[in-house]
Amino acid sequence: MKFKSLGTALTTAALIGTALTGTAGTASAATADCSSSLVNVKPKESVNLRSQPKTSATALGVWGKGKPGGVCFGDRGPTTGGSYTACGKTSNKWYFGGPNSSSVEGWVPATCLPI
């Protein structure tokens, strides 16, 4: 995962959003607190990496069941987003992260991660 570049990417996205809309705009990815991270996290099932913390958001890729990866884990814990049922549980908590084998990162259901 490339957490170092995440801050730069989020700042750039926010600036572009401001330039295009003329307002400060809100990016859901900006709520990801990557001040610390958890590594060697393995999803209980294959999960979609989403552009925002909701099931209707664009799927950016897939994090395969049991494949090691990392998630952002700040002081707040998971981010509250859209409600879902995944991995046998219903919740509205999401983590931002992805597999080590890919540079793709996105929002994943917290219930599918052993955290």
pLDDT at 95: 96
Contacts of 115 (CB under 8 A, 6+ apart): 38, 41, 71, 73, 78, 95
Give the count of beta carbons closer than 10 Å to the beta carbon of residue 98. 26
H or E, element range at 16: helix 3-21
* DSSP string for 51-90: SSSSTTSPEEEEE-TT--EEEE--TT-SEEEEEEEETTEE
pTM confidence score: 0.73
Contacts of 18 (CB under 8 A, 6+ apart): 24, 25
Confidence of residue 31 (pLDDT cuts 50, 70, 90): low
pLDDT at 11: 37
What would the pLDDT profile of 36-51 be if each residue is shown by its tens digit? 899 999 999 999 999 9
What would the pLDDT profile of 57-110 be if each residue is shown by its tens digit? 999 999 999 999 999 987 778 999 999 999 999 999 999 999 999 999 999 999
| Cβ atoms of 88 and 111 closer than 8 Å | yes
What ranges do the domains of the chain cover? Answer: 37-112
Please identify which residue in the block is written with the tokens 């995962």.
1
